[in-house]
Chain A
Amino acid sequence: MPQPARSLAITFISAATLSFEILLVRIFAIEHFYHFAYMSVGVAMLGFGVAGTGLAVWSRFNPTSTQRLFVWSSGLTAVALILTPAFVHEISVDPTQLLWDPGQWPALGLMYLLLALPFCLGALTVLSALTMAERPGYTYGAAFLGPGLGATVCIASLWLITPESALALPAVLAALGFMMAVMAGTTTRSAMAPPGITIAVSVLILLTAPWQLTVSPYKALPQVEAYPAAQRMMERSSPLGWTVAVETPAFRFAPGLSLAFGGTVPSQTAVFVDGALAGAVPSSPHNPAESEFLNWLPTSLPYAMGLPQHVLVVGSAAGTETRNALAHAVPRITAIELNPDLVALSRTDALVRAEREGRLDWVIGDARSYLSRTRRTFDLIVLPPAGSFGTSAAGVHGLAEDFLHTSDAYSQYLRRLSSTGTLAITRWTSLPLRQTIRVILTAVEALRRVEPQAVENGLVVARSWGTATVLVKPAGFTVGEIERLRDWAGERLFDLDWHPGLNDPATKYNYLEEPTPYLAAAAAVRGKATSELFAASYSFDVAPVGDAQPYPHHFLRLGSLASLLGSDRGSWLPFAEWGQIALVATLAQSVLLAALLMLLPAAFTFRSGHGGGWIRLSLYFGAIGLAYLSAEIAAIQQLSLLLGHPVYAVSLVLTAVLVCSGFGSIYSDRVAVPNTGKTNLALMVLLAALGLGLLNVVHLLQPFPLAVRMVAAGVAIAPAAFLMGLPFPLGLRSLADDGRSGIAWAWAANGFAAAVAAPLAALIALELGSPMLFFIAAAGYGTAALATRGNPATREA
């Protein structure tokens, strides 16, 4: 069988499965919420594990049957990639009901298994090729290079077509792989007919794009589109998000609008990213009422102190706060937004005019990187409330990394303020209060870090019926400024929960069960120890988070879950921290399915006499599976900060790690089996070093342009990624030398560990931070090194 055709087949098939995985991440993010990304990684890993298991129990191996399996599985991969999206769309699942409706579990399980099918078939193709290969490193290398190609093609395609259209791409790639697999075994024309038909069908699907996105009714887009006379005005797609604009007379966006406002809220166009509300743009370009309306939003509070000369808006989204700065006659405004489609949408006539006049600069990119490289200082830095109240309150963003609300980020903002500058952060106040409290504690911690002597006089907290605005001023608020803030807030029925000189709660308009914002601010200002004590005694985790653990919207303490459920407010939990509960459900399902699929072949293997080395084999391949995924997820998380968006980080890390691992696997053929332990030990050291230092490197590289940062990120992870490609083929040669069932076992153990590792790594990152994930990966390779000890094949001659 010609080796190049077989390797090409593996490259295409693995490219297809990885691009399908990335597309699932995008589609789950749009249709549901971000935390289902881990489900797509989980189903992929489950599919791989099932393939290994399948071969472990299938004892009738011979060259003919293996060749047949290779061709059939490649063809079925293409067919599965064509059919799975259609079948999955027929399954009705409401993942938010998992805790209440047991009927959701079988449906979710069926969806899980259906989605795992293409991955399983793809892995069978690779596995059958591996069992036929004389040089497994070469074949395994092709299986790594393919995903690198798949990631690149997939991300590139998302700039051109919508994610649901792109769903046909994996099928096209797999059909090409099928063609190569057939070519590797035969040259007859009749044999080319099935792959030809598969290619034709998949191309037809790519051209006709028959799939539709079904956005969860919990998201704002379908809710607003249900309003009378709703009309979708615009739709754009990029890897950064699916942006949609909807116009309907019934829509209004006014976060925290004063109840004393006597005017009319102007008509607006709603703007959504991935189905979630991102803000609103005025429908009418010349509406004098807008300026008046904006002055009654809580985000206008800092303007009550006086006119800032230069304002920076971080995360301009649909441009409400940029227009607010213009409405307040600010002479110079810099607006940062990562998503260019949002900028294009928000550029109303007034904003374009301001650009022409030199009053407004747009920065399309990442705020943290911009602040690292700019030498400018600002009189006011504004962080507006994101999206709508509903998603904020439900905790659906709990698992999303957000580097704009960490203590490191707040410190960076404070350092870019002019000598009398102010930082203004507005957030929704969801019940029980969590977000507001964390912002207060984080702001004070950052202030203590940057200007310790300013803590006592540098904090103001204002609150409307639904939002809280935290002002931080390193120069300290003057008595006059506090008076002006108090008057402005009072006129609008907003409470000043905290300001310098306040000794008792002073709620006058918006009552809570307890004056928690006051208590939090008082504890934070008093000192670091009292702040920590306050956070520790709070029902939810409200302690400030840093860049190493960038989950500022995650509040549930796993340790206190039982006591919270037992208390009167236990009923709040399911909708207070929905994201984490979905992740735990994913983990439970992964463990259950993966364990079943491991235990079954274990019993078979034991009976058929292959059981002797299975513990060592399982330990080795399980450890490297867990380690590989942990290192990959840790790298994605830390490089998200460097590259400014998780999509950039995911595509770069997957491409770099998989391509470098591919080269590592190819190189492994030259590495002697006795060096297996040393290779794993080297990886252990390298990953521990990344855990200790990568985040510092990220901070150092932040000021550089994106292209430089991308290259630097690739270089930073390449050595470890190269080495990460070695343990699997080396392990196959050293440990799985008892025949093909050993190879299959290796895959099953590796797939099981990886399937469990995907949601587990996310939970670890959430609870302990990404450096810990690197240390766990290091420990995994250390364990693998230990597993090779005492093995006769790895002893040096």
Chain B
Amino acid sequence: MSLSLRHLLIGPTILIWAMPLQGQDRATALNQERRQSMVDLIERRGVTDSVTLAAMRVVPRHDFVPANQADRAYGDHPLPIGHGQTISQPYIVAYMTEILEPQPGMKVLEIGTGSGYQAAVLAEIGCDVHTIEIFEVLATSARRRLDRLGFPVTSRHADGHFGWPEVAPFDAVIVTAAAGFIPPALVQQLKPGGRMVIPVGSVYGVQNLILIEKDAEGTIKTRNLLPVRFVPMLSGIR
């Protein structure tokens, strides 16, 4: 009888202790499941680069969005991260990453750190990532987040138009903030044989995704890839 009583007391205690852990596991499993679905969708939409897809299957996107948006982290749409900025739609992240043809060890410059998600994907691939953010608050929070999650990324708070001459040249440059024009400094900081991808246009609405290639002789070619639409998800749009 006493054994039964002990069991009766211990059982709920173990359950109470285990519940949060089970909840955490369940949330982790759920996020993993959502992440797989997200990457499957990206794959169906035409992104085939296995390196990119593998990295996106690992990077926890829900850790890069505000807590109140975590449930929507794996939907194929951009999300607000504050200061009028967004974390890009996963498909665009994958598409732009694939265009760069990333390889471990490549030195990559990212303009527009935002929440740090794109930098984390590149770091997961094994690239040597340098990222610049113009909004100080975003730069600081992204730095802390990347450190906490263990992604080796070098970051700074600066105006990305001038690139990062101290560590140039780069194998690849990725601009994740929409620009009204292509900053010549970024083209100059690209290595011969390097690739740069940049969305040109307004922050929200329509942009042309442009690929810039510098061949071994340093000759530059551009290629208009596709129009992309960036939608603001701000409250109170009228």
Q: Which residues of A contact B (CB under 8 A)?
A: 31-32, 89, 91-94, 96-97, 214, 216-220, 222-223, 226-228, 249-250, 252-263, 265, 277, 388-391, 393-394, 396, 429-432, 465-466, 493, 508-513, 572, 574-576
Contact = CB atoms under 8 A, between A and B. Distances in A.
B227 A259 contact: no
Given A217-B204, A218-B205, A511-B222, A91 B238 contact: yes
B231 A97 contact: yes
Contacts of B181: 252-257, 265, 466
A92 B206 contact: no
B106 to A, nearest CB: 22
Interface string B146-162: 00000000000001010
Contact of A92 (B136, B210, B237): B237
Contacts of A217: 84, 204, 232, 234, 237
Nearest to A220: B202
By Cβ-Cβ distance, the 3 closest A-B pairs, closest first, are A390-B202, A226-B84, A393-B206
Nearest to B213: A511
Given A217-B84, A430-B227, A431-B227, A259 B220 contact: yes
Contact of B184 (A253, A260, A511): A260
Nearest to B234: A217
A508 B215 CA distance: 13
A92 B184 contact: no
Contact of A510 (B183, B204, B221, B232): B221
A223 B221 CA distance: 29
Given A217-B84, A250-B161, A572-B227, A259 B222 contact: yes
Nearest to A431: B227
Contacts of B203: 223, 226, 390
Kindly name the residue among B135, B180, B204, B212 whose own CB sees the greatest number of chain A CB atoms within 10 A: B180
Contacts of A259: 182, 184, 187, 212, 220, 222
B226 interface: yes
A204 to B, nearest CB: 24
Nearest to B210: A465
Contacts of B134: 227-228, 250
A429 B205 CA distance: 15
A431 B228 CA distance: 10
9 contacts: A220-B202, A226-B203, A252-B180, A259-B187, A389-B207, A390-B205, A429-B224, A511-B224, A575-B205
A393 B237 contact: no
Interface residues of B, number: 42
Contacts of A93: 237-238
B223 to A, nearest CB: 5
A214 B238 contact: yes
A118 B61 CA distance: 48
A388 B220 contact: no
B50 interface: no
B89 interface: no
A101 B68 CA distance: 20
A89 B205 contact: no
Contacts of B221: 508-511
B205 A391 contact: yes
Contacts of A91: 238
Contacts of B159: 249-250
A216 B229 contact: no
A389 B200 contact: yes
B175 to A, nearest CB: 13
A388 B180 contact: yes
B168 to A, nearest CB: 14
Interface of B: 83-85, 134-136, 159, 161, 178, 180-184, 187-188, 200-208, 210, 212, 220-224, 226-227, 229, 231-232, 234-238
B220 A390 contact: no
Contacts of A216: 237-238
Given A250-B134, A465-B200, A394 B224 contact: no
Contacts of A250: 134, 159, 161
Contacts of A257: 181-182, 184
Contacts of B85: 226
A96 B178 CA distance: 19
A690 B23 CA distance: 75
Contacts of A391: 202, 205
Nearest to A219: B202
B206 A394 contact: yes
Contacts of B236: 92, 214
Contacts of B83: 226
B179 to A, nearest CB: 8
Contacts of A431: 208, 224, 226-227
B220 A430 contact: no
Given A252-B161, A265-B183, 18 more contacts: A96-B231, A217-B84, A217-B234, A250-B161, A252-B183, A253-B181, A257-B181, A259-B212, A260-B184, A260-B220, A265-B181, A388-B202, A393-B201, A429-B224, A430-B208, A466-B208, A511-B221, A575-B206
A89 B222 CA distance: 44
A389 B201 contact: yes
Nearest to B203: A223
Kindly name the residue among B220, B224, B232, B238 whose own CB sees the greatest number of chain A CB atoms within 10 A: B238
Nearest to A101: B231
A218 B200 contact: no
Nearest to B211: A511
Nearest to B162: A264
Contact of A393 (B136, B180, B182, B208): B208
B111 to A, nearest CB: 12
Kindly name the residue among A92, A220, A393 whose own CB sees the greatest number of chain B CB atoms within 10 A: A393
Contacts of A508: 221
B238 A89 contact: yes
A297 B202 CA distance: 19
A263 B161 CA distance: 12
Contacts of B229: 574-575
A391 B207 CA distance: 9
A511 B223 contact: yes
Given A262-B184, A465-B222, A92 B238 contact: yes
B138 to A, nearest CB: 10
Nearest to A215: B238
A393 B205 contact: yes
B149 to A, nearest CB: 26
A548 B229 CA distance: 33
A263 B185 CA distance: 9
B184 to A, nearest CB: 5
Contacts of A223: 84, 202-204
A430 B234 contact: no
A576 B234 contact: no
B65 to A, nearest CB: 19
Contacts of A510: 221-224
B202 to A, nearest CB: 3
Contacts of B201: 388-390, 393
Contacts of B204: 217-218, 223, 390
A466 B200 contact: yes
A629 to B, nearest CB: 27
A493 B220 contact: yes
Contacts of B200: 389, 465-466
Contacts of A513: 224
Nearest to B185: A264
B227 A393 contact: yes
Nearest to A464: B222
Contact of B224 (A92, A219, A512): A512
Nearest to A256: B181
Contacts of A32: 238
Contacts of B231: 96-97
Contacts of A226: 83-85, 203
